Amino acid sequence: MKLLAVLLTLTTFLNAHRLDEYLQATLVSIDGDRVKAEMRLTPGVAVFGFVMDKIDRDRDGIVSSPEQQAYAERVLGDISVASDGRRVKPQFSSVQFPSMEEMREGRGEIQIVFTALLPKGNHERELTIENRHEARISAYLVNCLAPVDSRIQVRKQSRNYSQSQYRVEYSDAAGQEPLVAAFWLAPAGLVLMARLGWLLRGAWRAI
C-alpha cells in the first residue's frame, strides 16, 4: 500500500508539473549496505530545447547511447550522497530515454538509476542526498520506499523547500548484530574459562 501511495503521488505530480520546469522525481530504497535511487527527469515543453542542448551534443537530433550515458554521468556529477555525514560516491547503473516526440510534448521521462555502497554504521543511521542538477529551472520531488528488509525501519524524512536536499533517518537492526553477538559471547567465554580453570585446578591437585 505504501508503494502504491508513493507511485500515485509521483504520477499525479508528474502529470501536473509546469511547462517551464524540469521535473526531477527520485525514489530512494535502502537495502542493508546499499542505497538505490531511481530518477525520472521530465523536461517541460518550454525548457525542452535548453535540456536537449545539454544532451544532444552533436546537434543531429538523435540521442545516441554514448550521449545518453554521458548525460547520466553529468547528472550524477551534480548529486551528493552522504551516509551518517560521510560522503559516498553514487555509481551509474542504467539510463533509459523516451522518444524525441514524447520529450517535445513534455511527457517523456528520462530514467536514470544509480546506487551507492553505504559504510558500516550504528543502529541509528542517516542518509542525505542533494541534487544540484539544473537547479535554475528544476522542480524536485524525493521519497523513500518502505525497505524490504524488516530489520531496516524508516523513522523520518525531511526536505528543504525545493526538495533539492533530502534526508532520511532510519534504524538498522543488522548494525547491532556484532554488538549483540559480543554481548552474549563474552559471558559464555568467561564461563568456559572458569570451567577450564576449575578442571586444571583439579588436575593439578590430583598430581
Tens-place pLDDT, residues 130-182: 999 999 999 999 999 999 999 999 999 999 999 999 999 999 987 654 444 44
Write out the H or E segment, with its range, that includes residue 194.
helix 177-206
Among the ranges given (34-38, 70-74, 203-207), the one the predictor scored with the smallest mean pLDDT: 203-207
- Residue 179: φ, ψ to 5°: -70, -40
Return the number of other C-beta atoms located less than 10 Å from residue 49's C-beta: 10
pLDDT, residue 176, reads: 55
Bridge partners for 152 per DSSP: 172
pLDDT, residue 18, reads: 80
In DSSP notation, 95-116 reads EE---HHHHHTT---EEEEEEE
The C-alpha cell at 167 is: 534526508
Answer whether 23's CB lies under 8 Å from 44's CB: yes
Residue 89 has pLDDT above 60, yes or no: yes
Report the relative pairing of strands 79-83 and 86-88 from DSSP bridges.
Answer: antiparallel
∠ CA 157-163-169 to the nearest 5 degrees? 20
Say how far apart CA 145 and CA 124 lie, in whole Å: 18
pTM of this structure: 0.77
The C-alpha cell at 21 is: 520546469
CA 189, distance to chain mean position in Å, is 40
**Any idea which residue has 552522504 for its cell?**
82
Of 38, 67, 36, the closest CA to residue 54 belongs to 67
Please state the rounded mean pLDDT for residues 178-188.
Answer: 44
pLDDT, residue 32, reads: 86
Say how far apart CA 107 and CA 100 lie, in whole Å: 10
Say how far apart CA 101 and CA 60 lie, in whole Å: 15
Residue 192 has pLDDT above 80, yes or no: no
* Helix/strand/coil for 79: strand
Domain ranges of the chain: 2-175
**Percent of the chain whose predicted confidence (pLDDT) is above 90:** 71
pLDDT, residue 44, reads: 96
Residue 66 has pLDDT above 70, yes or no: yes
